[in-house]
Chain A
Amino acid sequence: MKRDKYRSRATIAVDVMKAIIEQGEEQKLTHVLSRANIPYTRLTALLAELERVGMIESKANSERKQYIVTQKGVTYIKEYERFQRISRAFGLRI
C-alpha cells in the first residue's frame, strides 16, 4: 500500500480503525501494527484513546483483547475521507 511519508494524527487513527475493520473477528494486534505502521507503544496508547472517545470498543476474548469499531468510529472514517477528498482536490497533502 502506498503511504505518504508524513501522516497526521487523524490519518494514523483512521489507518488503525480501518485495520481493525479489515481484520474482523480474527484480528491480531501484529496485523493492526503492520497496517498502521506505528510502534507498539504508540499503538496501545492510541487504542486506549480511541476507546476513551468511543470510536472503538474492546471485548475480552479467552486469550486476548478484541477491538470493534463503533458507529462513531465509522462516521469518523467517512468524514475523514470526505475532508481528504477536499484536500486532494486542491492537490494538498494532509
Chain B
Amino acid sequence: MQVLIVDDSQIMRKIITGALKKLGINDIVEASNGQEALDVLAKDAANIGLVLMDWNMPTMTGIEAVRKIRAGNNKVPVVMVTTEAEKAKVIEAIKSGANDYLIKPFNPKDIQAKLEKFLQAVLK
C-alpha cells in the first residue's frame, strides 16, 4: 500500500516523506493540489492506503478534495496536515470526512505518533 502526500509545498512534501521513511514507509506518491490527489486516486485507489492532505492549495483545496473523495464513496483514511488550527476548522474537516488532523508546525515525533494507527494497515 502507498501513502499519498498532498501539499503544494515541495519542502513540506520532503519533510513528510522524511518522517514516513523513518517509520519504514518507502512507497510514497505525491500530489501538489486537491485535483491532482483525486487524479491519483481515480487511477490507483486500491493501492493508496493513507492520504495526508494539506488544506490551502491552489486549483483545489484539501477540504474540497476530501468532500469529493467521500462523495465518491472512497473510504481511504485521510489525515489533514495543515496550518489551519482553529477548532471550527478541525470540526469542518472531520464533518467533511477527514479521519484525523495534524497541525503545522509539527516535529517528526508528532507526525509519527499521529500516523502510527493508520500505518499498520499501510505496512500490511
Whether chain B is bound by chain A comes out as no
Interface residues of B (CB under 8 A from A): none
